[in-house]
């Protein structure tokens, strides 16, 4: 081990949660924060980037993850862009009852421009009008090819409201 390696300190991955307004970004983080130990909280959800660090247990090892919550309203494109610039990984959240929307596309453009890996989280699968297949087809129409459909982008169906598959999402990160 050289002196530079000896001085380096591992840090938690920075995960930006991004997507269209009202697709469940803040709800997802609220669920995670309620059910995991919160170490740091700063910012204001609505008009700022908020940061949260949590600790999870994976295979009997404590691991930390730092999340950035970005606003989904169209007026805050520059904040979503900044979030993508500093992140190690992104979660592109898409509501199963609404599908691809303008800020979904814009968030995806920020992810691609910064060349960061990402996970697609199809949220609101608990809603009666949820249409997961429609969302998956829209992803393909936007050149996002998910695992199981000829691509390598991880995709998970979640409900941020009731916690369905949230632990699986955390393990993917």
Instruction: Show which residues are catalytic.
Output: 73
Coil vs helix vs strand at 46:
coil
Measured between alpha carbons, how far is 38 from 19 in angstroms, rounded to an integer? 23
E runs forming strands in the chain: 14-19, 37-42, 50-58, 61-69, 89-95, 118-123, 155-157
Query: In angstroms, what CA-CA distances link 117 with 3, 15, 40, 92?
Result: 30, 10, 24, 10
Angle subtended by helix axes 102-113 and 77-86, to nearest 10: 30
Q: Which residues, in sequence order, are CB contacts of 24 under 8 Å at separation 6+?
A: 93, 95, 123, 124, 160, 161
Cα torsion angle, 162, 74, 19, 131, sign: positive
């Amino acid at each position: 081990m050289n002196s530079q390696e000896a001085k380096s300190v591992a840090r938690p991955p920075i995960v930006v949660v991004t997507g269209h307004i009202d697709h469940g970004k803040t709800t997802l983080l609220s669920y995670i924060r309620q059910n995991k130990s919160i170490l740091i909280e700063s910012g204001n959800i609505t008009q700022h980037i908020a940061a949260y660090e949590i600790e999870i247990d994976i295979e009997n090892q404590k691991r930390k993850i730092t999340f950035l919550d970005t606003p989904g309203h169209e007026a805050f494109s520059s904040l979503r862009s900044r979030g993508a610039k500093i992140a190690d990984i992104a979660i592109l959240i898409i509501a199963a009852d609404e599908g691809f929307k303008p800020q979904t596309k814009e968030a995806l453009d920020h992810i691609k421009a910064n060349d960061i890996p990402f996970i697609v989280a199809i949220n609101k699968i608990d809603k009666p009008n949820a249409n997961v297949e429609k969302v998956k087809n829209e992803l393909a129409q936007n050149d996002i090819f998910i695992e199981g459909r000829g691509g390598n982008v991880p995709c998970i169906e979640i409900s941020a409201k009731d916690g369905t598959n949230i632990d699986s999402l955390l393990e993917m990160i």
